[in-house]
């Protein structure tokens, strides 16, 4: 099957192996409760020249799947979250983990570094990941012939080529194409980092809803073919089909990582840098919730 070969070509096994370091043994979708880290990377030709491959995660969403009650918990992690980043051996914005992993361990080091940072933050195992860039995201939405989203506010944003003011959306329920959906998920100019995460959840939920309405494995295969070369994952095709069944039959609960604004003199010449500082009590509560959803006992988050 062509689709299976495309997924195989996009396969990237983490250096840790198939089992999370927070697991006693490896797990599989449907057979076990599992988690999936969704990474959106700020990757295009212009930024390739600017960053030389050391991109950032523009979106980080952790989905946990409970096989018994067919529920999904979708947690948004703001890109500016201030946390310990293992690959850097210090606290930093979680968005920087990907680029630091690339610099230290090569092109395949980014996903591993982001997975490690999320696991350290939440003390929740990340079993699988999928990494998309701007191009693949727009192809997915366009492959679904657009998605219905209730846009929360009117705004103007650049497109995937970083052309300024290329996208303008009005408030309200409307059908979005790939570029418009990307602009809604990316924009940082209308509210907070946390609210940006909520918009990303809206877009993911709309994609899942459209997949439900399409209800076709053939359509899913066409989408995978459309994003050929623009995504990386440690999933195989059978795993993807298992997650697709979750999308058809499960319910999704959206969760936000609670926190406050924090400014530290970490910039050049002591300039203040913005961070999103997770609330310790809420962070522990979130960890407990997600671990319970995965059938794991609660675990105390360690300070760094």
Q: What is the 3-state secondary structure (H, E, C) of 263-292?
A: EECCCHHHCCEEEEEECHHHHHHHHHHHHH
Q: Check: CB of residue 69 under 8 Å from CB of residue 76.
A: no
Nearest CA among 133, 149, 161 for reference residue 55: 133
Q: What is the pLDDT of residue 134?
A: 79
3-state secondary structure 106-118: CCCHHHHHHHHHH
* pTM, two decimal places: 0.88
* Cβ neighbour number for residue 16 with a 10 Å cutoff: 13
Q: What is the pLDDT of residue 242?
A: 81
Write out the two tokens for 7. 């997924």
Nearest CA among 40, 12, 20 for reference residue 108: 12
Q: Are strands 231-233 and 251-256 parallel, antiparallel or unpaired?
A: unpaired
| Cα–Cα distance, 142 to 222 (Å, whole number) | 11
| Cα–Cα distance, 254 to 202 (Å, whole number) | 9
Q: What is the pLDDT of residue 114?
A: 98
Beta strand residue intervals within the chain, DSSP E: 34-41, 57-66, 71-76, 82-85, 90-93, 128-133, 147-151, 155-157, 167-169, 172-176, 231-233, 251-256, 259-264, 273-278
Q: What is the pLDDT of residue 238?
A: 85
Sorted by where each starts, the structural domains of the chain and their CATH numbers stand as 2-145+184-293 (3.40.630.190)
Q: What is the pLDDT of residue 176?
A: 97
Nearest CA among 160, 168, 156, 255 for reference residue 205: 255
Q: What is the pLDDT of residue 131?
A: 93
Q: What is the pLDDT along the chain (304 residues), one digit of tens a residue?
A: 556 666 677 888 999 999 999 999 999 998 999 999 999 887 655 555 555 666 889 889 999 999 999 899 999 999 999 999 999 999 999 999 999 999 999 888 999 999 999 999 999 999 999 998 878 888 889 988 999 999 988 999 988 888 999 999 999 999 999 999 999 988 876 766 677 788 888 888 888 888 777 766 677 777 777 777 678 899 888 888 887 777 667 788 999 999 999 999 998 888 999 999 999 999 999 999 999 999 999 999 987 6
């Amino acid at each position: 099957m062509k689709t299976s070969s495309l997924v195989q070509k996009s396969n990237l096994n983490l250096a840790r192996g198939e089992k999370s370091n927070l697991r006693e043994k490896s797990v599989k979708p449907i057979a076990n409760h599992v988690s999936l880290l969704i990474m959106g990377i700020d990757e295009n030709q212009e930024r390739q020249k600017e960053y030389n491959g050391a991109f950032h995660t523009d979106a980080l969403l952790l989905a946990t799947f409970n096989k018994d009650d067919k529920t999904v918990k979708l947690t948004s992690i703001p890109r500016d979250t201030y946390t310990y980043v293992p690959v850097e051996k210090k606290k930093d914005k979680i968005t920087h983990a990907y680029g630091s992993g690339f610099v230290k361990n090569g092109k395949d080091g980014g996903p591993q570094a982001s997975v490690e940072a999320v696991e350290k933050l939440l003390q929740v195992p990340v079993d699988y990941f999928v990494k998309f860039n701007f191009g693949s995201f727009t192809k997915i939405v366009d492959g679904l012939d657009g998605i219905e989203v209730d846009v929360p506010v009117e705004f103007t944003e650049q497109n995937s080529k970083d052309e300024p003011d290329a996208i303008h959306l009005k408030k309200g329920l409307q059908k979005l194409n790939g570029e418009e959906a990307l602009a809604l998920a990316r924009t940082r100019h209308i509210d907070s980092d946390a609210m940006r995460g909520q918009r990303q959840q809206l877009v993911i939920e709309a994609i899942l809803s459209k997949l439900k309405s399409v209800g076709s494995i053939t359509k899913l295969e066409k989408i995978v073919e459309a994003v050929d070369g623009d995504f990386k994952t440690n999933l195989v095709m059978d795993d993807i089909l298992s997650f697709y069944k979750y999308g058809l039959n499960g319910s999704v609960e959206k969760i936000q990582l609670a926190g406050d604004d924090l400014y530290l003199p970490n910039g050049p010449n002591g300039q203040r840098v913005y961070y999103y500082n997770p609330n310790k009590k809420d962070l522990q509560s979130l960890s407990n919730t997600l671990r319970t959803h995965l059938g794991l006992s609660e675990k105390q988050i360690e300070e760094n």
